Every structure is written in C-alpha cells, then in structure tokens.
Amino acid sequence: MKKTSVEVLDYYDEEVVKMISEKYGFEQIISLRKFLSSQSYSMLSDSELEMWEFGPAGIFDMWESEQITGDPRNSQYLRG
C-alpha cells in the first residue's frame, strides 16, 4: 500500500476532527483518536484508493457511517 502524502492527511485530520468534535461534542484529542483508529482513516491513508477526492465532508460521512453501521462503505459517497 502506498501512503497518501502527509500534507493531505494533515489537512483531512484537521477538517474531519473539527467536524466530529462539532457534531458529537468530543474534545479534539478524542475525535482525533477516533478518526485515526477508524477504517475510514485507513482507507484515506491508502493513496491507491484516492479517497481525498471526496473532500472532508465525504470522509466525515464515511467515518460516521462506519460508527453507525460498522462499515464506511455504507456511506452515501461510496454507494452513490
């Protein structure tokens, strides 16, 4: 697996963590831990999947779908 660039991951970390914290009221460090340990983050990290094309809202939706259903592939961004 070829990794997504650090700059891209840093950007998504900041944006998605902000969305998680705002919606769920978690402290940012908790949101970061939840995001970094998710399958959604693992998929974002794999440059071959080109997940960054969905933008932060798409990655957040994947993360949220993963939390609710157990699978980020249930996201409307991936199914649609």
pLDDT (tens digit per residue) in 2-24: 999 999 999 999 999 999 999 99
- pTM of the full predicted structure? 0.93
The CA distances from residue 1 to 7, 19, 48, in Å, are: 18, 27, 7
pLDDT at 79: 82
39 in a structural domain: yes
15 in a structural domain: yes
3-class DSSP state of 46: strand
Tokens 């993360």: give the residue: 63
Say how many CA atoms lie within 13 Å of 32 toward its Cβ: 8
The answer, yes or no, to whether residue 78 has pLDDT greater than 90, is no
42 in a structural domain: yes
Q: How many domains does the chain have?
A: 1
Range of the domain at 32: 6-79
48 in a structural domain: yes
pLDDT tens for 19-70 read 999 999 999 999 999 999 999 999 999 999 999 999 999 999 999 999 999 9
- Tokens of residue 33, six digits: 């831990």
73 in a structural domain: yes
